[in-house]
Chain A
Amino acid sequence: MKKSMFALIVLLSMSQVFAHHAVNSQFDVSKNVELTGVLTKVELINPHSYMYFDVTGSDKMVVNYSIETGAPAALRRAGLSAREALKVGDTYKFVICPSRDGSPTGLMSSLTLPDGRSFKFGARNNVDPGQDQDPTSP
């Protein structure tokens, strides 16, 4: 009885754990959604960084989105110096692969700074298929 309870707890916690990192199960990588939001927080950490944006919907409701993106070094390789370029309070346009569960989360495909400079990241970007990245490149 004790053993089966323990196994149940382990299984339940595992199903939560593995909800993520199969990126394709968490995010719909076949879709891209373009959003505009006010940056509220940046976490430059490994193995993934996070950016948070307040996005105002068509119903005027403000929803805070948590967007997963690359490790800090990966952002820099994409040309983005996150510390200098990202300012809390500024408004950014960004494209995400949306969450499958409808939560305000996503995997960042591209980010456009207020000055118009734009950066593409590893996630597939189907908004502009002409510039789709080679899926075999790292």
Chain B
Amino acid sequence: MSLLSWLEGLPVSVWVAESDWGYPLLLSAHSMGMAIVVGLLLVLDLRVFGFAAGIPIAALDRLMPLAWGGFGINLLSGSLLFASTATRLAGNWAFLVKMACVVLGGLTTFWLWHQVRGNNMSRAKGVALLSAALWLSAITFGRLIAYVMDHAILHAQ
């Protein structure tokens, strides 16, 4: 049995997939975590572009623990949602593109803070644009996962 089907067969994974509330509640938590982390990082990106210029960018640093909190909610809820559908998700191109966007979005956010702290604002604007594009793409491809899954299953044979 592969690692993926072992994961899918764990009692907690079966509970997520088959209970009345497991999947819908975790998916809701995943949306809320997404709103927190992507919402706050978009605020940062927009501020770097020049919106709300009266707010010092350094002050946004204080919001980053909240963004980490949102990320933590999504790491946990996302891992459980993945475990419940592991064999199907591992081969789902929308899921794989989304995960790549999340990883690159995270790295880009670190890069953005590096540029901001170095007061390299023209470079920072480009990085903020990339960051916004990656996080918004992560949401879009995340939304496509279910559609790709149905299509792949129905046209597999």
Task: Give residues in A with beta carbon < 8 Å to B.
Answer: 16-21, 26, 43-48, 50, 64, 66, 68, 71-73, 76-77, 82-83, 99, 103-105
Contacts of A71 in B (CB 8 A): 23
Task: Give residues in B with beta carbon < 8 Å to A.
Answer: 17-20, 23-24, 27, 84-85, 88, 94, 144, 146-148, 150-151, 153-157
Q: Evaluate contact between A48 and B150: CB separation under 8 angstroms.
A: yes
B interface majority secondary structure: helix
Contacts of B155 in A (CB 8 A): 103, 105
Closest to B18 in A: A72
**How far in angstroms is the closest Cβ of chain A from B83?**
11
Contacts of B150 in A (CB 8 A): 20-21, 48, 68
Q: Evaluate contact between A66 and B154: CB separation under 8 angstroms.
A: yes
Q: A21-B146, A48-B150 are in contact. Are A73 and B157 (CB under 8 A)?
A: no
**How far in angstroms is the closest Cβ of chain A from B16?**
8
**How far in angstroms is the closest Cβ of chain B from A63?**
9
Closest to B81 in A: A46
Q: Evaluate contact between B146 and A50: CB separation under 8 angstroms.
A: no
Contacts of A46 in B (CB 8 A): 17, 23, 27, 84-85
Contacts of A73 in B (CB 8 A): 18-20, 23-24
Contacts of B147 in A (CB 8 A): 17-18, 20-21
In the complex, besides A64-B157, A66-B153, A68-B154, 4 extra interface pairs with C-beta distance below 8 angstroms are A17-B148, A19-B151, A99-B154, A103-B154
